[in-house]
Amino acid sequence: MEVARMLDMFDDCDPDYGLTDEMFRETIDQYVYDNHYDDELDDIAADWSNLSLEDQVKKIYEELQEEKK
């Protein structure tokens, strides 16, 4: 839930439905693409490409916590 807040996912939610699984996944995918896309390989960086959604969220949370420092 904290990652959703940190990435402002609730700002674009439909007030009747809230944050959907699809919206959550799309935002996580976009974050990974925006921050971990390797232009030279024309692909997502290897250390992100095989992670589960749960592991991606954990890593994103850690990154965002580091940025706050």
The string of pLDDT tens digits covering residues 31-59 is 999 998 877 766 777 788 889 999 999 99
Q: Which long-range contacts does 61-65 make (Cβ < 8 Å, 24+ apart)?
A: 61/2, 61/3, 61/6, 63/35, 64/3, 64/6, 64/7
Determine the average pLDDT of the residues in 23-29: 94
Domain count within the chain: 1
Residue 47: what pLDDT? 83
Reading the block at residue 36, the tokens are: 């971990």
Residue 45: what pLDDT? 76
Residue 58's domain spans which residues? 2-68
| Cα atoms in the Cβ-side hemisphere of radius 13 Å centred on 28 | 24
pTM score, two decimals?
Answer: 0.84
